[in-house]
Amino acid sequence: MSTQGYEAELRSEQEYVTALYARLDGERERAKTRYTAALKQNDGLPGERDVAVRALARENRRLSVADSGLCFGRLDARDGGRSYIGRIGLFDEDDEFKPVLLDWRAPASSAFYTATAASPENLRRRRQFHPKGRRVASFTDEVLGSGERSDADTDAALLAAVNAPRGEGMRDIVATIQAEQDRIIRLDHPGVLVIEGGPGTGKTVVALHRVAYLLYTQRERMERHGVLVVGPNPAFLDHIGRVLPSLGESDVVFATPGGLLPGRHATDEDEPEAARAKGSLGMVDVLKAAIADRQALPPEPVVLKLRDTAVRIDAETAEWARDEARQSGRPHNEARSVFVEIVTYVLTERAIARIGRGWLSRDEREAWEELRADLLAELKADPEFVRAIDALWPILTPESLLAPLYASPARLAAAGADPALHREQGDAWTLSDIPLLDELIDLLGKAPERAKQRENAAERAAEAEYAAGVLDILRLDREEQDEDIGLTAEHLLYDTDLADRFVETDTRDLAERAAADRDWTYRHVVVDEAQELSEMDWRVLMRRCPSRSFTVVGDLAQRRSEAGARDWGAMLDRYVPGRWVYRSMSVNYRTPAEIMAVAVTVLAEFAPAVEPPESVRACGVRPWSRKVSDDDLPGAVDEFVRAEAAREGTSVVIGPPDVPGAVAASDTKGLEYDAVLLVDPDRILDDGPRGAAELYVALTRSTQRLGVLHRGPLPEMLSGLEERA
């Protein structure tokens, strides 16, 4: 195409895009007007206004994110048809069924990402815009079906994106999704999708775009429940937190594994041996045994003096009551009423027999029951009786069960627990304790005095009918249930419970309500750095998503936790046998070839069987190393910080805690920076059995520049670095 022809095409495309923005602005104004009117509405059924306001708020958010890069491409079909592709879908003002801009998630948009010269999918040309704000700065064309690539650099958009300086957070890739990524984003699989890839392969951003795609294609099923995204730490969640909002999706809750239990949060980690023990599925049996250990028998009969006689709770009575309570199948706190019922039955029967000897027989039922009622009232008012019941069948909270267990070697032994779980301060909660506390909520149940009273059945019937549709979404086919742990929709939620949860009376948005509700269930869950999760962590997540719809992102080679996954099948087959699929990503979009060449030597040291991802580009800058003394180190770090501050982009210093301004390698997982300074790599290697994996993580955070300062010997596996004086 001649320069004159190109300029004419560019003006024509700008006119079309300008018209799209005019259409967008008009829709925004109309949506804003409807939203304002809904806020002022006071009539209608309770909850209707809230539903309308939330729906219109979502529409306003969807329209607000499209301003930057609204339209980023065009497809020309062989039959002369033409389609424009963008962040959202827009329709002709005079024909609501005629699209003027296709949403990138629409089926007709798929070819924009997957068509090739060899497989053109009935297309003649793909045009990619390079926008700046509302202006089309330039475009590149790829002729399809000719067997040849066009003269235009069809990788220009991708290379521009991966070479661009990094900002404060992860960016969406909606304009540059590659065919490998698009196939994963659009994969039609109702169960668990595992996406594995090495550093920089884009697995996280692909998972987030998959969420946006699912919310687009399954809006009705997903919007009532929302999506949960689980990441390794708050810094990572901040890093990825802009992606989904930038795609117009806000019904998403972000959480770390330590923050999945509302009201409780942990960041400290256990020693490897304790973490391994707590993460094992065997902890469920330990917790059950610990609860059983608190259901005691009196070593000596407990004598209770009533007004007209004395009775006693002996071991035989308590054992019968305990057996009946356990066999009720109720959680511990809720089974207490069965225990009390049996104990009081025995005590009142004995008391009536003594008090009524010679004048009262069982045939006189009315008098017998009247006396029983008096005795029951007397027992319940007796402090000694209350103390006895509390000693034999105490009301427990997760914390009051777990903290004394950890603090007592004897209790740990009685529960069959690993001695490594012992610690002096039992309530010094760690990340590994969160799934145990969560498990105990179900095992213990609600305390009787705090249990929610049921409302009038007639009033609840209407709510239950409303919730029945929600239950249909959650109900699994019998063959898809995990009979081993029984965490199915029916066990977790019933229509009446759903009615309580989903009746539209709360003014908070979905994400706020879901984050505050431990019993909330999500339609889909994304788990990043999933190789770090233990078997007990997975139990928590399965409770949160009874439909078992997950996107799991990880890299087994980067596993740090001793309780984490060593094999996806061994972990997931416990919960979703036959319902998970695996996809791998092999192209490294982040780490340039020069840096990856160094990282590969580290990978070969601790995971020789793992195939490293192939870098899509080189940066032309060799990574370097420099030996410094203790006195020289602060100045060398300051020199790096000052130099990077003068450049556009982001930088980080990774190193041990005694290095000023440094962060640990584990805290940078999933993050990326334009420049990385790594300090004392030998000490990272020496930090436990997973030191090499930590070093591998540190080396692969950079998108442009990598430097290494070492006070001790430079590890042999880093000998490929350019040595600087």
DSSP characters for 140-197?
A: EEEE-SSSS--SS-TTHHHHHHHHSPP-SSPPP-TTT--HHHHHHHT---SSEEEEEE
State the pLDDT at residue 45: 64
User: Does pLDDT of 90 surpass 80?
Assistant: yes
Q: What are phi and psi of 497, to 5 degrees?
A: -65, -40
Q: What is the mean pLDDT of residues 142-169?
A: 69
Residues 360-385, mean pLDDT to the nearest whole number: 89
pLDDT at 505 over 60: no
What the block records as the tokens of 485 is 């742990």
Residue 374 predicted with pLDDT over 70: yes
Asked if pLDDT for residue 425 goes beyond 60, the answer is yes
List phi, psi (to 5°) of 523. -80, -25
Query: For residue 179, which phi and psi values (nearest 5 degrees)?
Result: -55, -40
Model pLDDT, residue 47: 67
Strands 310-313 and 302-305 turn out to be: antiparallel
The mean pLDDT value for 332-356 works out to 93
If pLDDT is split at 50, 70 and 90, which confidence band does 569 have?
A: very high
Q: What is the pLDDT of residues 173-185, one digit of tens each?
A: 898 899 999 999 9
| Residue 398 near residue 405 (C-beta atoms within 8 A) | no
Nearest to 242 by CA among 130, 160, 167: 167
Span 40-67, mean pLDDT?
Answer: 76
**Hey, how many other C-beta atoms are within 10 angstroms of the C-beta on 91?**
14
Q: Mean pLDDT of all residues in the chain? A: 88
Residue 368: pLDDT band with limits 50, 70, 90: confident
- Percent of the chain whose pLDDT exceeds 70: 89
What does DSSP assign to residue 261? S
480 or 148: which leads in pLDDT: 148
Q: Which pLDDT value is given to residue 365?
A: 83
* Residue owning tokens 């992102």: 553
Rounded CA-CA distance 725/723 in Å is 7
- pLDDT at residue 113 is higher than 50: yes
148 has a pLDDT exceeding 80: no
Distance CA 652, CA 204 (A): 20
Does an H or E element contain 722, and which?
strand 722-724
Task: Specify whether the CB–CB gap between 200 and 672 falls below 8 A.
Answer: yes
Predicted pLDDT at 679? 97
Q: Per 3-state DSSP, what percentage of the chain is helix, strand, and coil (rounded to 5)? A: 45, 15, 40
Q: Write the DSSP symbol of residue 692.
A: H
663 has a pLDDT exceeding 80? yes
Measured distance CA(578)–CA(572) in Å, rounded = 9
Give the model's pLDDT for residue 454: 39
pLDDT at 689: 67
| DSSP assignments along 81-134, one per residue | -EEEEESS-EEETTEEEEEEEEETTSGGGHHHHH--SSS-TTEEEEEEEEEETT
Q: Give tens-digit pLDDT for 380-410.
A: 999 999 999 999 999 999 999 999 999 999 9
Q: How far apart are CA 318 and CA 342, in angstroms?
A: 8
* pLDDT higher than threshold 80 for residue 718: yes
Greater model confidence, 431 or 1: 431
User: Residue 503 — pLDDT band, cuts 50, 70, 90?
Assistant: very low
Of 152-156, 227-231, 372-376, the range with the lowest mean pLDDT is: 152-156
Mean pLDDT of 505-511: 68
Q: Is the pLDDT of residue 353 over 60?
A: yes
Mean pLDDT of 132-147: 86
Query: pLDDT at position 44, please?
Result: 64
Q: Which residue has the higher pLDDT, 79 or 690?
A: 79
pLDDT tens sequence across 187-215: 999 999 999 999 999 999 999 999 999 99
pLDDT of residue 263: 87
Residue 429 has pLDDT above 60, yes or no: yes
456-483 pLDDT, tens digit each? 444 454 454 444 444 444 444 443 444 4
**pLDDT tens profile 215-253:** 999 988 888 899 999 999 999 999 999 898 888 888 899
CA 655 to CA 710: how far, in whole Å? 10
